[in-house]
Amino acid sequence: MRYGAAALVIVFYVDAFLLGGEWSSWVLFGALLIPAVAGIIVTTRQLPRAARPRLIDVALALTATLVVAAVVRDFGLPPVLAASLVGVVAALASVANDRLGSVAVPWYCGCFAGMTSELVLADWLSVTIAGLGAGLLVSLLRTTWDGVGGKLGLLAFSGVFLTSFVSRGLGTIGPGAPVFDFDLADRLALVAVPPLAATITWALWRRGSSPVLASAAPTAAFALLLLLLDDKTPLGDLMPFTYPSLCIAWFGGSFIGMTAPDRVGGRLWPLLVAASLFGVLQIAFKPTIAGFGGDFGATASVAVVAVIGLVAVVRHVAGLRRAAGP
């Protein structure tokens, strides 16, 4: 199971960043695939095998998926704002009651599956299957890749990805949402904003907040503030950045900030590198079908494991040099 999930990371990477790209994309992102695969190997082989599924995890993920999908589709709330607000509810419930301590993780994972576009999964049966798939994966793999930022989004994406095959078989798969067309200002935001979000998330977590609350609460506040500014004040007309680009940048950075300190030696700078890398990857994000829920988290996890892998490769090379002597 864990190796199957690792394979899905590679499938996601090839589809999102290599297929259909120009030769320069193949050179840049093909080279980046090497440390990414190394990071996947390191994070996968160090952890225990898949756990037994828990019905509560599946139920929570499914509920969150349906709630977020309903809020986005029926009430028109922006997906990032909807997912982060619903995530805050579960995080606060976990903080308020120790017996609900395991609620936030599967719930937050389900939120990402619920962000799937109607242009991908239009019918509620498919959305339900995606939520069930995300819940089953987060339950089975709750001890795998522990502490890797973006893991929950990756598992949600995996659930949606597997559901897409069912939808294709039923003839209900949509054409896919349009890929965001970022201008220069948006691209700058996608590189500059994630390190700030990662820093704030990481700092809140290390000061006692749960990882889910540290990610969801600042994201909800940021997305809501941007929405109010955009709709209610002249400042919205003056901002050179679009609302989606800023929300994506912050949300992705917050996922990277959820990385456990022991994954990066207790240092912040690897996360800052991963956060900026997330922006670069998001700019280059051109999958065959866009609009899959969890794709921001999947991209964040690629950035994190690539940095982990790069550090591992550098240490290995340095060890070989020391062994070889002068």
Q: Looking at the predicted structure, is the pLDDT value of residue 48 above 60?
A: no
175-198 burial, b at 16+ Cβ within 10 Å, e below that, comes to ebbeebebeeebbbbbbebbbbbb
Instruction: Give the separation between CA 162 and CA 177, rounded to whole angstroms.
Output: 17
Q: How confident is the model at residue 34 (pLDDT cuts 50, 70, 90)?
A: confident
| Residue 117 amino acid letter | S
Q: Would you say 253 and 193 are in contact if contact means Cβ atoms under 8 Å apart? A: yes
Q: What is the pLDDT of residue 179?
A: 82
CB atoms within 10 A of CB 72: 22
pLDDT tens digits for range 99-147: 555 788 999 999 999 999 999 999 999 999 999 999 998 988 877 777 8
Q: What is the pLDDT of residue 247?
A: 93
> What tokens does 14 get?
């090839």
pLDDT tens digits for range 56-68: 899 999 999 999 9
Q: What is the pLDDT of residue 238?
A: 53
Q: What is the pLDDT of residue 109?
A: 95
Question: 3-class DSSP state for residue 123?
Answer: coil
Instruction: Measure CA of the first residue to CA of the last residue in the chain; give whole Å.
Output: 45
Q: What is the pLDDT of residue 234?
A: 53
pLDDT tens digits for range 212-271: 999 999 999 999 988 887 655 555 555 677 888 999 999 999 999 999 888 888 889 999
For the ranges 51-65, 71-85, 90-104, 170-184, the one whose mean pLDDT is highest: 71-85
Q: Would you say 258 and 205 are in contact if contact means Cβ atoms under 8 Å apart? A: yes
Q: Looking at the predicted structure, is the pLDDT value of residue 320 above 70?
A: no
- Helix ranges, the chain (H): 2-13, 23-45, 55-75, 79-96, 104-114, 124-140, 151-170, 184-206, 211-232, 235-238, 243-257, 269-283, 295-324
Q: What is the pLDDT of residue 2?
A: 61
Instruction: Give the separation between CA 322 and CA 320, rounded to whole angstroms.
Output: 5
Q: Looking at the predicted structure, is the pLDDT value of residue 28 above 80?
A: no
Residues in the chain: 326
Q: What is the pLDDT of residue 65?
A: 97
pTM comes to: 0.88
The owner of tokens 């007309």 is: 237
CB atoms within 10 A of CB 273: 20
Mean pLDDT over the full length of the chain? 84
Instruction: Give the separation between CA 146 and CA 185, rounded to whole angstroms.
Output: 35
Instruction: Give the separation between CA 299 and CA 252, rounded to whole angstroms.
Output: 8
Q: How confident is the model at residue 50 (pLDDT cuts 50, 70, 90)?
A: low
pLDDT tens digits for range 137-175: 898 887 777 788 999 999 999 899 989 988 888 888 888
User: Cα 237 to the chain's mean position, in Å?
Assistant: 29
Instruction: Give the separation between CA 277 and CA 296, rounded to whole angstroms.
Output: 12
Q: Would you say 39 and 84 are in contact if contact means Cβ atoms under 8 Å apart? A: no
